[in-house]
Amino acid sequence: MLKKIIDVKIENRKNNNCNKTENYILTCSHPHVYTLGKSGNENNLLINNSIIKSQKLDYYKINRGGDITYHGPGQLIIYPILDLENFFTDIHKYLRFLEEAVIMTLQEFNIKSGRIKKLTGVWVDINSQNPKKICAMGVKSSRWVTMHGLALNVSTDLSYFNNIIPCGINDKEVTSIEKETNKVIQMIIVENKLIKNLCKIFEFELKKKYILGRQKNRKLRQQKTFTGVVDHVKRRYCFVSSDEITDDIKIKSRDMKNACCLGA
């Protein structure tokens, strides 16, 4: 998907074409994994490899910006794959747009949130002595095409953050939508609201919604829900049926031609 967009851009420049590039929003949930950004500090991982293995966790160094974070069940992951030349060529503005969409979404759950100067992401209780991070962000771009994205804690087991110094910030806590509202919140509701607000902020219209995975039976394919996970080692998006998701899920590769995406 990413390569397809970049190939179009390269072809346009080489032959002075004006072929349009597509934009996508991928939504997924990960198994338990810690990821360290390219500018991160390994000392912010507070457990050793033996503990990682015994608790069936994973740990990868990846090529996004930022420091260390945790991904796992109950966390909504959004990976926008956008050609910013269709919008604006400013990574800082792009991050602020992502933050604003999350802030708007949290407001719909009566959660007041905002930004903290010099700290990327979305926070609650920003004016208190103990602000808490509810959404982490780490992005990368190639030829102005974005990769990676945001992680919003919905019903996340926050105890997994105790094994790291989240985002390399040792004097701030993390929180979730369920913790802030003291209510059980369905992931699909949050996902739909956040996608709607991303459409508003970036001023694009969602034109297609694809179903994840390969199914021989078209009717089954239309009905079945799939979830995406990322193979950080080979840096590719992979998808599995949601009824196959377990805490110790093994990555299953799928052809990106049949990947689920929300097309903008």
* DSSP for residue 161: G
Positive/negative CA dihedral, 245, 251, 253, 256: positive
Q: Point out the least confidently predicted range of 48-52, 92-96, 115-119, 218-222.
A: 218-222
Do residues 76 and 152 make contact, with C-beta atoms less than 8 angstroms apart?
A: yes
Give domain status of residue 168, yes or no: yes
Q: Which domain holds residue 143?
A: 25-263
CATH classification at residue 249? 3.30.930.10
pLDDT band at 263 (very low <50, low <70, confident <90, very high): very low
Rounded to whole angstroms, the Cα distance separating 99 from 97 reads: 5
Rounded to whole angstroms, the Cα distance separating 212 from 110 reads: 32
Give domain status of residue 223, yes or no: yes
Q: Is the model's pTM score more than 0.85?
A: no
Residues above pLDDT 70, as percent of the chain: 78
Give domain status of residue 156, yes or no: yes
> Tokens at residue 76, please?
């909504």
Give domain status of residue 30, yes or no: yes
Residue 259: phi and psi, rounded to 5, are -75, 150
Give domain status of residue 5, yes or no: no
Q: Which residues of 157-181 are buried (b: 16+ CB within 10 A; e: fewer)?
A: ebebbebbbbbbeeebebbbbbbbe
pLDDT of residue 208: 63
Give domain status of residue 163, yes or no: yes
Count of structural domains, the chain: 1
pLDDT tens-digit series, residues 66-76: 899 999 999 99
Give domain status of residue 91, yes or no: yes
Give domain status of residue 8, yes or no: no
Q: Please give the positions annotated as active site.
A: 167
Higher pLDDT, 229 or 171: 171
User: Where are the strands (E) in the chain, listed by range?
Assistant: 24-28, 33-36, 58-61, 68-71, 75-81, 113-116, 119-124, 132-142, 145-153, 173-174, 208-209, 226-231, 236-241, 262-263
